[in-house]
């Protein structure tokens, strides 16, 4: 393009020079004839017009040709700027594994000057254990090219110039170039993220081990407590049956207290055992008819509360462990019946609804309610918001509900105001077809 422009300029300069020479000839003394002078003036003017026209044509052609060239050069510059500004390493490799492009981030990540990378084989950036299989993997990618991640499901490592390995994530993209198909790879150093993941995994493993140890301890303690508790209750029963006449009224009252507390301790042990078992038994998930399950739990308890009006609304089907979800309903319904029993017209509603992502269920009552500021305490072991003498219980039931629901990937909640009843519910993930 530059040579063509120079030649055109030389031709125009030559023509212009000739025109000026002809025009200057008008001043010569031997050209005095009027006809000759008129002819030469005409020729000179025409020559100058032609030269100016050629200048204009050359300038126009120059603009026409150089415009796209300039635009192309600017586009290439923008591409180079983007490649250099990329926050990940970018490297292009041809079909034989030779590096044809590498950005600054790639050079910094692997500790090589860019000049050392260009023209070298990509295998120099890989640990030795990958060298034998890498050419075959590259050939397989080029034979069936598509954008994808490299090494899905396994850990990948790069090799720095100093010989240190580091974890990486690699994305592959096929690129068609004038020299044939190539591979453009994006490389991310995930050392920091890998460290955090390892720390989280270690913490989770420790937490799981602690939970198993705690569950085993609870199970062992609960079993060990049963034997002395049975002895206490048994001896108290003997005293009550065989020696009642030897006690005065206060003695008989205290004996009754001993037996009642032994019974309460027995229920607490049963609840602790149930609580520890739910963390160890595997989930057997299947479709569950929640309406039938709720009615089963109601049938066992409603006879103890004949004055309570109970309404079971439509309950959508759930997906979960039937035996564990039955425990959830038993505890929720028992809770609603117990805390509404002192209302002159006790009422309990069992309801549910299906949402796009989850299915909700609840037990609503018109009982004593509670202060909503302390709602989270309801789901903690041994945490109670009412006195045992007012409402008997061990403080384990709703903690058991929460544990079972969380194992199903769901959530629990409690809504109430003092003396305005309560609605305690849970939600399970919707089953994806």
- Evaluate if residue 433 carries a pLDDT over 70: no
427 contact partners, CB below 8 Å, separation of at least 6: 355, 358, 359, 360, 361, 405, 410, 411, 412
Identify the band that residue 231 occupies on the pLDDT scale cut at 50, 70 and 90. confident
**Would you state the pLDDT for residue 275?**
67
- Evaluate if residue 9 carries a pLDDT over 60: no
Q: Which tops the pLDDT comparison, 417 or 24?
A: 417
Structure tokens at 171: 């994305």
**Would you state the pLDDT for residue 429?**
93
- Evaluate if residue 309 carries a pLDDT over 60: yes
Percent of the chain with pLDDT over 70: 74
- Across 324-350, average pLDDT: 89
**Would you state the pLDDT for residue 342?**
84
The chain-wide mean pLDDT, for the chain, equals: 78
- Evaluate if residue 206 carries a pLDDT over 80: yes
Buried b (16+ CB within 10 A) or exposed e, 91-116: bbbbeebebebbbebbbebbebeeee
- Evaluate if residue 154 carries a pLDDT over 90: no
Tens of pLDDT, residues 24-67: 444 444 444 444 444 444 444 444 444 444 445 545 545 554 55
**Would you state the pLDDT for residue 26?**
41
Tens of pLDDT, residues 73-103: 776 677 777 777 788 889 999 999 999 999 9
Q: Which tops the pLDDT comparison, 260 or 98?
A: 98
- Report in angstroms the alpha-carbon separations of 338 from 32, 261, 330, 386, 394: 136, 20, 12, 12, 13
Q: Which tops the pLDDT comparison, 316 or 272?
A: 316
- Across 237-251, average pLDDT: 86
**Would you state the pLDDT for residue 179?**
85
**Would you state the pLDDT for residue 28?**
42
Q: Which tops the pLDDT comparison, 84 or 404?
A: 404
Among 6-20, 105-119, 243-257, 384-398, which range has the highest average pLDDT? 105-119
- Evaluate if residue 209 carries a pLDDT over 60: yes
- Phi first, then psi, for residue 146 (nearest 5°) are -165, 150
- Across 371-390, average pLDDT: 72
From CA 222, how far away is CA 216, in angstroms rounded? 10
Identify the band that residue 222 occupies on the pLDDT scale cut at 50, 70 and 90. low
- The answer to which of 113-122, 153-162, 218-227 has the lowest mean pLDDT is 218-227
- Across 110-122, average pLDDT: 91
Residue 385: alpha-carbon gap to chain centroid: 37
Q: Which tops the pLDDT comparison, 389 or 176?
A: 176
What is the pTM assigned to this prediction?
0.47
From CA 407, how far away is CA 78, in angstroms rounded? 53
**Would you state the pLDDT for residue 41?**
40
Residue with tokens 């031709």, as numbered in its chain: 11
- Evaluate if residue 220 carries a pLDDT over 50: yes
**Would you state the pLDDT for residue 383?**
66
**Would you state the pLDDT for residue 51?**
41
């Amino acid at each position: 393009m530059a040579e063509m422009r120079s030649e055109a300029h030389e031709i125009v300069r030559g023509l212009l020079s000739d025109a000026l020479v002809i025009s200057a000839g008008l001043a010569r003394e031997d050209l005095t004839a009027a006809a000759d002078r008129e002819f030469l003036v005409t020729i000179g003017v025409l020559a100058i017009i032609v030269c100016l026209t050629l200048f204009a044509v050359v300038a126009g052609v120059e603009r026409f040709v150089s415009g796209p060239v300039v635009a192309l050069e600017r586009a290439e510059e923008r591409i180079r700027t983007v490649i250099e500004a990329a926050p990940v390493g970018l490297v292009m490799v041809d079909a034989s594994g030779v590096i044809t492009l590498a950005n600054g981030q790639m050079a910094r990540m692997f500790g090589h000057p860019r000049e050392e990378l260009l023209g070298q084989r990509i295998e120099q950036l890989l640990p030795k254990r990958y060298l034998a299989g890498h050419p075959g993997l590259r050939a397989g990618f080029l034979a069936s090219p598509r954008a994808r991640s490299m090494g899905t499901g396994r850990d990948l490592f790069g090799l720095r110039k100093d010989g240190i390995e580091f974890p990486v994530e690699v994305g592959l993209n096929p690129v068609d170039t004038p020299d044939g198909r190539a591979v453009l790879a994006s490389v991310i150093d995930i050392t920091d993220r890998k460290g955090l993941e390892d720390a989280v995994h270690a913490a989770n493993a420790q937490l799981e081990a602690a939970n198993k140890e705690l569950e085993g301890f609870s199970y062992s303690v609960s079993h060990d407590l049963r034997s002395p508790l049975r002895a206490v209750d048994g001896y108290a029963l003997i005293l009550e049956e065989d020696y009642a006449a030897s006690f005065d009224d206060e003695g008989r009252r205290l004996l009754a207290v001993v037996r009642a507390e032994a019974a309460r301790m027995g229920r607490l042990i049963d609840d602790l055992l149930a609580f520890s078992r739910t963390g160890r038994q595997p989930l057997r998930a299947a479709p569950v008819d929640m309406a039938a399950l709720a009615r089963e739990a109601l049938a066992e308890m409603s006879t103890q509360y004949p004055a309570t009006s109970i309404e079971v609304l439509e309950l959508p089907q759930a997906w979960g462990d039937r035996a564990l979800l039955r425990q959830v309903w038993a505890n929720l319904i028992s809770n609603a019946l117990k805390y509404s029993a002192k209302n002159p017209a006790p009422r309990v509603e069992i309801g549910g609804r299906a949402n796009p992502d989850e299915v909700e269920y609840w037990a609503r009552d018109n009982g004593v309610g509670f202060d909503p500021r302390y709602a989270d305490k309801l789901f903690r072991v041994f945490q109670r918001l009412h006195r045992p003498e007012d409402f008997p219980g061990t403080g384990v039931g709703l903690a058991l509900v929460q544990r079972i629901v969380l194992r199903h990937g769901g959530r629990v909640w409690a809504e109430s105001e003092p003396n305005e009843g309560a609605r305690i519910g849970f939600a399970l993930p919707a089953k994806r077809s």
